[in-house]
Structure 1
Amino acid sequence: MDPVQRALLVARLSVMTDESTSPGRQLEHGRNTVQARGWTVAGEATDLDVSATKYSPFDRPELGNWLKNRCHEFDVIVVWRLDRLVRSSKDLADLIQWCEDNGKSLVSATEGFDLGTPFGKAMVAIIAALAELEAGTLSTRVKDSHTALRKMDRWPGGQPPYGYRIIDHPRAGKTLEIDPVTSEAVRLMGEMTIADKSQWEIATRLTTDGFPTPARFHLKEGSNRKTEVSDTWNQSSVGKILKSPATQGFKLIGRSVKERHLARGADGMPIRYTPTGIFTDEEWTRIQQHLAKRSRTRERSNGAAPLLGIVYCDQCEDRLYRVVNSHANGKKYSYYRCVPKTGKPRCTGATFLESWVQELLDETVFEELASLPVTETRFIPGEDHTDELQAVERAMVGVRDEKDIGLYDYVGGQEEYLERMTALVEKRKQLEALPHREAEYVKEPTGETYAEAYGRMDSEERRALLLKAGIKLYIRSMKPIAQFRIYAPTDQIHDALDLPESDRTRILTDLDNRFGGNR
């Protein structure tokens, strides 16, 4: 009879959803072996989500601790199958050597070997070689599978882009669809960008409206994070979402963020998970244009001085900067001052009290913009089925690709293939027969002038309006009389203030008459 030995039960799982090799089942086989031999259980070493091809037994969290720090507490290692311990001959040789050096034995509950016998050692070597071969074959199959998946509208795994969620693919695997909650946040980002709001303003609005941040949205229940999840949006997240083609439902491939690019089908067309993106193609183009424009100007908007980039020195034509001075009486006074530049002498007397400058600018704006009407741009959707047609054609290519790689090689598969292709061909005919009408934007007056709008805006909104219109106030002196000139590029004002096209000639002529040679 074998002496009573202390057994360490070992279990490992690479994928926690694999029911056939669940930890509970592995440990149950081990307990049955221990009971049949009259041994006692010294403990359990269970490693979940741990690959035997990447981590040796000594590097695993649970088993590694027993082997390195608690080897005096057990006499024999009991495992369900050898591949739960090792997947390479080298790891097996290292483990066998460790067992011999430390007087330990190794037993498989289902494969009938015991490291304590010569035959058992030979069996272990053969099984380990087979396990290593199986691991290599599995790796090749996985790589081939990933290559095929790149050519299909199937989700390869991982976190979906913000604005989308993972669903079952109609044929097999997973794909994406637009998420009703987070897509509203993305639409708000796009609308505010088109309205020329800064990414800081967009992030603030998203936080105020309570939209989940990407980190919050992707947080899995029960997951352990080293850092706390933030519910405050930041500018970087807004920019990444609005610039990524994934936001329009396109499939991206590449190992890193920098390497990611559009995945294309056999027809050369970009692969899309959804028939249309969160935005129309026209909206997406406008969003990218606004982002590019802001990237070129790089004018600070968040927390900047109210008149920064608007008021200039009329002597050197450089911008004025706000300076706050503390008086001996404890009061603080704000000025706009011409700051000396390298290689340029300081302009004498180019310092102006902020309250005077603000009053001068307000009076000028209220007078010059009093007749300019505010309009709202309204989008009238068109009827364009190009995206749907492309989606149908991509689906037809996908079905053909699936047939080429043998996914329909089963009883009834040919009939299923023909049924799908027939349905897609009929869908394409229906879409081609539908009418086509271009979408358009129309400007409608709100009944308010821009002087009135300027009057109800806060300082940041006023600054954003004037910067977008390109209006600049050049000041030479404030005393004894104000000497200044205003620069107002009429074409830029037209674009910035969204003037109605029907009134453009009259309004621009009026602006030319008002500003005269000061432009």
Structure 2
Amino acid sequence: MLLAERISDAKGERSESIEAQDEKLRARAEREGVHIVGTAVDLSISGDVDMFDRPSLGQWLTPEGLQKWDEIWVSTQDRLSRDDKHFLAFVLKVIEWQKKVTVLDDPQFNEQMHTPEGLLILHAKALGPAKELARIKARVTESHERRRFTARWHGGFPPFGYRPVNRFENGKTAAYLELDEDMVAVLHEMRRQIIDGQSFLGVAKYLNAKGVLTARDRARLRKGKPVKSRKGEGIQEKWAETTVKNVLTEESTQGLKRYQGEVLYGADGEPVRLADPVFTDGEWESLQAAIQRRTRTATKRVNKTNPLYGVIFCAECDAKAVQKTFTRKAITYRYYVCGSFPKEDRCKGSVRAEEVEEFMEIEFLQRYGRDPVTERTWVPGTDNTRELEEVRKRIDRLRRDSVAGLWDDDQEGFRGLMASLMSRRDALAAEPVVEGHWSEKDTGITYGELWPTLDLEGQRKQLIKSGYRIMISKGTFKITPEPETWQEKKTRLESLGYVLRDNRWVQPDTAHTGEE
């Protein structure tokens, strides 16, 4: 005999616990002296899940499992199923298998399975649990709809930077989100690295090296479960390039509520906020600007030994140039050659690597050596275009709902909501659009002082940032932009507001020493 026990995770389903079911079934089996071959326990399995698909019971309904039992026992009929179609299909299978079903609170169940009239009675009995399940689903859906536009947390693992907290209100426990200071510190470090020009992959490597847990692993630990990755349980999940980008671009990092992948807006046209934001508006805007700039212009480094990767190209086909080395008489020679793929299609031009790198360094320092190194700071702008579009869509949806008669019983509510949305639309449309922009602040050092402190990777990034491009051909190369004359340099820096003092270019407010 097989015991079948199930409990749903639907909070609206009032059912006896697994322990109570097990106690009743075993007490009955002991009184009747029946041998128990096993127990199929399905925890948190809804009554509308087909019995053949259940994690535990489904294993006993396979050809191999059927050989191990002759009779299945449940405490009540709805422990088998709350879906009338699944229930009847299972009953017909039991008849086909020539097995029995015992329902403790329905002694006639097994006999009714074997007559046409009895099957009709069983079907009628199955309709009750099916209707109750439909009522449960309706209550759950209604509850979700009611909470959708509130600051309540719906469950699951929260976005990185936040942790769930329970608050007692109106006699019940409600879940909310609050900032996790440890994760907030990590997010600010991630932002700093992106602003400084680090790649998403570089940030991911940094997080993995530091052993920083992902949002998913943190959620597992909070529930008392071990961390888990593709490599198995107990192995920490790794940060990836896409994970870093998602964390730094999704609005949930700013505490905004999302629904079906989009920010959720309330009746007043304002986004629904779950918790305080991680970044200020200015910090968030500058981060997104840095990410967009990097997405458009970033050059990934795929060859760690090439100090000019992303700077040097083939003049004939415009493919990135790669390094080629060979050793002769214990001396290693390096060349830059066309990196087109496949190798058979590579152009024939090549130049000595040391020659190009030395010339490039001299050119950079001649052009920028006495220029001040500036620090880019973001000046926030104002652009409500996206929010304005969302409000207009809400107005259109509200009008369609009214035409469909969905507001017939609440015209006052309709007019109030429409007035609120139209007021918000007009206010947003009246606000000017001011683009955010970067501002340069003098750091007090020159590029000539900065250059020796940079490693090869730092120098490579600086050349890319400065807009340099080297084109190689047979034994020659050309650098753009071309070296500028002293007059061109003077004109360029003076146009930016710099003056030459003590053999270095400085901003006017630092050019005076107090002596007139």
TM-score w.r.t. the length of structure 2 is 0.70
Question: Once structures 1 and 2 are overlaid, which stretch shifts more, 114-123 or 447-456?
Answer: 114-123
Taking the aligned partners of 1:181 and 1:191, their CA distance within structure 2 comes to 16
Deviation, 1:453, is: 1.6
Deviation, 1:357, is: 1.3
Please tell me the root mean square deviation across aligned C-alpha atoms, in Å. 4.2
The corresponding residue for 1:199 is 200
Taking the aligned partners of 1:70 and 1:317, their CA distance within structure 2 comes to 66
On the 8 A contact 2:379/2:439 being kept in 1, the answer is yes
Matched, 1:219 2:213: no
Matched, 1:453 2:450: yes
Letter of the aligned partner of 1:351 in structure 2? S
Aligned mate of 1:12, from 6, 26, 37: 6
Deviation, 1:262, is: 0.9
**Which secondary structure does the structure 2 equivalent of 1:323 belong to?**
strand
The corresponding residue for 1:242 is 248
Unaligned runs of 5+ in 1: 1-6, 255-259, 382-439, 512-519
Taking the aligned partners of 1:443 and 1:468, their CA distance within structure 2 comes to 14
Taking the aligned partners of 1:489 and 1:252, their CA distance within structure 2 comes to 52
**Which secondary structure does the structure 2 equivalent of 1:41 belong to?**
coil
Taking the aligned partners of 2:316 and 2:263, their CA distance within structure 1 comes to 49
Taking the aligned partners of 1:101 and 1:132, their CA distance within structure 2 comes to 24
Could you list the per-position Cα deviations for residues 452-485 of structure 1 after superposition, in whole angstroms to 9, with x for gaps in the alignment?
A: 2211111111111121121345678989xx9867
**Which secondary structure does the structure 2 equivalent of 1:451 belong to?**
helix
CA distance change for structure 1 residues 485 and 147 in 2, over 3 Å: closer, same or farther?
closer
The corresponding residue for 2:498 is 505
Matched, 1:60 2:36: no
**Which secondary structure does the structure 2 equivalent of 1:78 belong to?**
strand
Taking the aligned partners of 1:11 and 1:120, their CA distance within structure 2 comes to 24
Deviation, 1:73, is: 4.3
TM-score w.r.t. the length of structure 1 is 0.70
Deviation, 1:128, is: 1.4
Question: Once structures 1 and 2 are overlaid, which stretch shifts more, 34-43 or 191-200?
Answer: 34-43
Deviation, 1:141, is: 1.8
Deviation, 1:346, is: 9.9
On the 8 A contact 1:472/1:488 being kept in 2, the answer is no
Matched, 1:21 2:27: no
Residues 107-186 of structure 1 aligned to structure 2 (within 5 Å):
107-111=102-106, 113-116=108-111, 124-169=122-167, 171=169, 172-186=173-187
Taking the aligned partners of 2:187 and 2:351, their CA distance within structure 1 comes to 43
Deviation, 1:72, is: 4.8
On the 8 A contact 1:169/1:175 being kept in 2, the answer is yes
Could you list the per-position Cα deviations for residues 378-414 of structure 1 after superposition, in whole angstroms to 9, with x for gaps in the alignment?
A: 8999xxxxxxxxxxxxxxxxxxxxxxxxxxxxxxxxx
**Which secondary structure does the structure 2 equivalent of 1:207 belong to?**
helix
Residues 293-442 of structure 1 aligned to structure 2 (within 5 Å):
293-301=293-301, 303=303, 305-311=306-312, 321-327=321-327, 329=329, 332-337=332-337, 351-375=350-374
Letter of the aligned partner of 2:354 in structure 1? S
Taking the aligned partners of 2:484 and 2:220, their CA distance within structure 1 comes to 49
On the 8 A contact 1:336/1:353 being kept in 2, the answer is yes
Could you list the per-position Cα deviations for residues 70-93 of structure 1 after superposition, in whole angstroms to 9, with x for gaps in the alignment?
A: 445444322111111011222232
On the 8 A contact 1:454/1:462 being kept in 2, the answer is yes
Taking the aligned partners of 1:507 and 1:77, their CA distance within structure 2 comes to 93
CA distance change for structure 1 residues 300 and 378 in 2, over 3 Å: closer, same or farther?
closer
CA distance change for structure 1 residues 488 and 150 in 2, over 3 Å: closer, same or farther?
farther
Taking the aligned partners of 1:102 and 1:160, their CA distance within structure 2 comes to 47
Question: Once structures 1 and 2 are overlaid, which stretch shifts more, 150-159 or 31-40?
Answer: 31-40
Taking the aligned partners of 2:497 and 2:7, their CA distance within structure 1 comes to 71
On the 8 A contact 1:105/1:114 being kept in 2, the answer is no
Taking the aligned partners of 2:68 and 2:240, their CA distance within structure 1 comes to 52
Aligned residues: 428
Residues 246-261 of structure 1 aligned to structure 2 (within 5 Å):
246-254=252-260, 260-261=261-262
The corresponding residue for 2:85 is 90
Aligned mate of 1:46, from 41, 63, 87: 41
**Which secondary structure does the structure 2 equivalent of 1:272 belong to?**
coil
Deviation, 1:270, is: 0.8
**Which secondary structure does the structure 2 equivalent of 1:116 belong to?**
helix
Taking the aligned partners of 2:120 and 2:320, their CA distance within structure 1 comes to 86
Deviation, 1:169, is: 4.5
**Which secondary structure does the structure 2 equivalent of 1:306 belong to?**
coil
